[in-house]
Amino acid sequence: MADIKIHLCLAHMSGLEQHYIRSAIESNWVAPLGPNVEKFEKELETFVGYDKHVTAVSSGTAALHLALILSGVGRGDEVICQSFTFIASANPILYQGATPVFVDSETDTWNMSPLLLKKAIEERLRITGKLPKAIVVVHLYGMPVRMDEIMDIADYYAIPVIEDAAEAMGSTYKSRPCGTFGKYGIFSFNGNKMITTSGGGALICPSEEMSRKALFYATQAREPFPYYQHECVGYNYRMSNICAGIGCGQMSILHEHIAHHRYLAACYQSLLRDVPGISVHTNPDADISSNYWLSTILIDPVITGTNYEQIRKHLAEKGIESRPLWKPLHLQPLFRETPRYVNGVSEKFFAEGLCLPSGPYVQEKDVLWITNEIKKCIRK
Ligand SMILES: *Cc1c(COP(=O)(O)O)cnc(C)c1O
């Protein structure tokens, strides 16, 4: 196998990160919380707007876990979760001793189908006598969920929505940032996301009170006493002042990163537009504006005479990293017994899709090369 020349999505530093890390070390704020954390949270609040309050935490997964806790999810509850996603969207449901109920996707956004969501809620109510305690939707690969449709249904049943925007920092639905529609939203700052803190996440909350409560649970649920008093289960989920320093530096290039991902997506779209059997995942209409965290394609095996795995192997031989789409969670052995409402859509995507290199280090000439290599795999 060739050495990797083009990675799927690499972290990229602005240069300012060093400044914030140095100031943390010089002021001896090498601890959880601290001035970088406060600055990073303020900048995230400005970025998302809509009077949201943001708590920076140790990972996107931790942020999701806190959102479920704040939504009152506990043992014996059911939580509806998009099936087409990374497992981190669902693992925190298990941490709470609750049961995920997977809901499949619609064909244009690739995200949770509002029709199936409604069916799932009504059927769970009929079978269990209870409404699901929360709904986790995912803006997968940065493509926004149809939030109006989802919120109409969720509001009708008064079920809180948690938006997993781990991949969707900078994506908008009807010009409003993903992560601000549901009761809670989360971002991830893992090494491969739109920006990084080396590892980290953020919980977007509807009020200062809820964001303070999130910090309480993220700080071992320590009660305000001079000694250590604990009345409920807590976690060690705070972000360190060093990691937040990286985040402050990254905020200075966030808009550049988003613009670059979108530019690369436009390159893929124009270079693959006329290739029969290959479709590039693209904003389905003007309401939906993806950050194109990863550019993704579907390969029709009948028309192209090839498939995603043959293309993936061919690209790997050239040193180009690509990756199959997320395997739907309802197909994961871990979730063999889990209730699901499926329509075949995510299974078809999984059978036909590929993620293509999209990070800040990928250039237009790389996209030209990658798309030419893809075209070589197609039956003449
Ligand atoms: C990355 C990711 C997460 C989890 O974020 P971490 O910071 O890695 O814990 C959750 N959901 C989705 C869809 C992701 O891609």
pLDDT the model gives residue 27? 87
Number of domains in the chain: 2
Does a structural domain hold residue 11? no
Task: Indicate the angle between helix axes 308-317 and 364-376, nearest 10 degrees.
Answer: 120
Q: Give the pair of three-digit tokens for residue 100.
A: 């995920």
- The residue contributing the CA closest to ligand 1 atom 14 is 166
> Using a 6 Å cutoff on CB, does residue 88 contact ligand 1?
yes
Query: Domain check: are 190 and 235 in the same one?
Result: yes
Distance 30 CA to ligand 1 centre (A): 25
With respect to residue 355, please indicate whether it lies within any of the assigned structural domains: yes
Query: Quick check: CB of 61 below 6 Å from ligand 1?
Result: yes
Tokens for 280? 């590039």
Q: Are residues 268 and 141 in the same domain?
A: no
Q: Which of 82, 85, 186, 190 to mutate to test the pocket of ligand 1 (most atoms within 8 A of CB)?
A: 190
Q: Cα(187)–Cα(43) distance, rounded to whole angstroms? A: 13
Where is the domain boundary, 253, 269, 301?
Answer: 253
Q: Is 163 in the pocket of ligand 1 (CB under 6 A)?
A: no
CA 160–ligand 1 middle distance (angstroms): 20
Which residue carries 């299974």 as its tokens? Answer: 347
Does residue 51 share a domain with residue 104? yes
Domain identity same for 273 and 168? no
User: Does the CB atom of residue 96 touch ligand 1 within 6 A?
Assistant: no
For the chain (length 380 residues), average pLDDT per consecutive 10?
A: 85 91 86 88 98 98 98 98 98 98 98 98 98 98 98 98 98 98 98 94 98 97 96 97 96 96 98 96 98 98 96 97 98 98 98 96 96 90
Angle value at C-alpha 155, between 149 and 157, nearest 5 degrees: 110
DSSP string, 181-203: SSSEEEEE--TTSSS-SSS-EEE
* pLDDT of res. 165: 98
Q: Which amino acid is at 305?
A: G
Ligand 1 pocket check for 111: Cβ under 6 Å: no
CA 266 to CA 25: how far, in whole Å?
41
What is the 32 CA–ligand 1 centroid distance (Å)? Answer: 21
Give domain status of residue 77, yes or no: yes
Burial class (CB in 10 A: 0-12, 13-18, 19+), 317: exposed
Our mutation pick for probing the ligand 1 site, out of 9, 84, 110, 164, counting the most ligand atoms within 8 A of Cβ, is: 164
> What pLDDT, on a 0 to 100 scale, did the predictor assign at position 31?
72
**Bridge partner list, 203:** 55, 186
Q: Which domain holds residue 292?
A: 255-379
Residue 265 Cβ inside 6 Å of ligand 1? The answer reads no
Number of H helices, E strands in the chain: 13, 15
CATH number at residue 165: 3.40.640.10
Helices (H), the chain: 17-26, 35-48, 60-70, 91-95, 114-128, 147-157, 208-218, 241-251, 254-272, 301-304, 308-317, 345-352, 364-376
Which of helix, strand or coil describes residue 368? helix
CA gap 264, 141 in Å, rounded: 14
